[in-house]
Amino acid sequence: MTDQAPAPFTGKSRVLSGVQPTGDLHLGNYLGALVKFARLQHEMETFIFVADLHALTEWTDPKKLKSNVREITAAYLATGLDPKVATIFAQSAVPEHAELAWIFNCVARLGWLDRMTQFKDKAGKHKERSSVGLYTYPVLQAADILVYKATHVPVGEDQRQHLELTRDIAQKFNHDFEAPGFFPLPEALTQGPGARIMSLRDGAVKMSKSDPSDNSRINLTDDADAISQKIRKAKTDAELLPEKLDDLAGRPEAQNLVGVYAALAGRTAQDVLTEFAGQGFGKLKPQLADLAVSVMGPIGGEMRRLLADPVEIDKILGAGAERAREVAAPTLAEVKRIVGYWAG
């Protein structure tokens, strides 16, 4: 079969994204990613998974991993993903991801990975003690995306560099193996005011699962009281809100709260400023707290309801994995043939 020309990419639009099962999901995950998943499922064929292979790149308690996967799945469902519309699955149930990642390890260049800022941030001063998996993390991410020939990847701003690497890998594979157009060059969907939500305690660092301060983030499972209190305590400055967006420059906390308001309300940041211009945070915060409670409050309750029935969640993940493999297996088979494997 090696003389057969590789099938070119047919141009079908397809969404793929995922979240790691490593700690509580927060407002940044919700606005940067989950909210977009629920919307996009009605616009394009959509694959959303839980990245439990990626979770192993840093120490993860084996006793907790499976329940963490169920928790992320519950968050997907509670924020509007419909398993009858989108394909929802766990990465570890689709071995094609890891197999394609090996081939991509041989396509990606060391110099490309050396530039990845997420690795530098996560490894910190202890690069030598980091797992090799943490270093090649973005290569597995490229395999996640390209094994479905996905064209659109909804993610927060922090994932943009990994998407650029994915495009580089796709392009080099297509070129080196003389398979023009085999893999699409996927686009990161990072538009909107929710793409980079910052910590509530420090507007200079992003809201993150790993921040030691729980007051730095609003968790999807926080109740109304906790949400209001965290917004009340959020760091601000002493100035009034300006009329124009440009005048928020140099005020990261103010910028963040206006951005969160806009993202939760589905409005532009400029529109929010026009409403609050000339007012202080004493006016903005209570309204932001009410808005956050009305949007986020019901999600935690729905997650708890769904998690009470893990069998149903596992059923959804099982059916999703079957559907995912129907798409991933033919891509991998074709890749094996293209690279000339004996088993290809």
Site residues for ligand TYM per CB under 6 A: 16-20, 28-29, 31-33, 51, 54, 141, 144-145, 153, 155-156, 158-159, 195-197, 206-207
> Token pair of 282, please?
């004493």
Q: 195 or 284, CB closer to ligand TYM?
A: 195
Q: Identify the active-site residue in 66, 122, 283, 336.
A: 122
Query: What number of helices (H) and strands (E) belong to the chain?
Result: 14, 5
In the complex, least distance from residue 71 CB atom to ligand TYM, rounded to whole angstroms = 12
Contact 92, 138 (CB under 8 A): no
Q: 192 or 280, CB closer to ligand TYM?
A: 192
Contact 131, 54 (CB under 8 A): no
> Three-state SS across 226-274?
HHHHHHHHCCCCCCCCCCCHHHHCCCHHHHHHHHHHHHHHCCCHHHHHH
Active site residue 127: no
In the complex, least distance from residue 211 CB atom to ligand TYM, rounded to whole angstroms = 10
Q: Identify the active-site residue in 66, 172, 209, 336.
A: 209
Q: Identify the active-site residue in 36, 149, 206, 230.
A: 206
User: How far apart are the C-alpha atoms of 6 and 335, rounded to whole Å?
Assistant: 9
User: How far apart are the C-alpha atoms of 79 and 179, rounded to whole Å?
Assistant: 39
Q: 179 or 198, CB closer to ligand TYM?
A: 198
In the complex, least distance from residue 178 CB atom to ligand TYM, rounded to whole angstroms = 27
- What letter represents residue 76's amino acid? Y
Q: 102 or 340, CB closer to ligand TYM?
A: 102
User: How far apart are the C-alpha atoms of 18 and 16, rounded to whole Å?
Assistant: 7
In the complex, least distance from residue 246 CB atom to ligand TYM, rounded to whole angstroms = 22
Active site residue 122: yes
User: How far, CA to CA in Å, does 239 sit from each of 62, 73, 128?
Assistant: 48, 41, 45
**315: number of Cβ within 10 Å:** 12
In the complex, least distance from residue 308 CB atom to ligand TYM, rounded to whole angstroms = 24
Q: 158 or 168, CB closer to ligand TYM?
A: 158
Residue with the CB atom nearest ligand TYM in the bound state? 32
In the complex, least distance from residue 82 CB atom to ligand TYM, rounded to whole angstroms = 20
Active site residue 209: yes
Read off the DSSP letter of residue 93. Answer: G
Contact 50, 91 (CB under 8 A): yes
In the complex, least distance from residue 12 CB atom to ligand TYM, rounded to whole angstroms = 18
Q: 98 or 274, CB closer to ligand TYM?
A: 98
Q: 155 or 338, CB closer to ligand TYM?
A: 155
> Which of 41, 55, 53 shows the shortest CA–CA distance to 144?
53
Contact 262, 254 (CB under 8 A): no
Give SS3 for 12: coil
**Angle 281-307/310-339 helices, nearest 10 degrees?**
90
Residues tagged active-site: 122, 206, 209
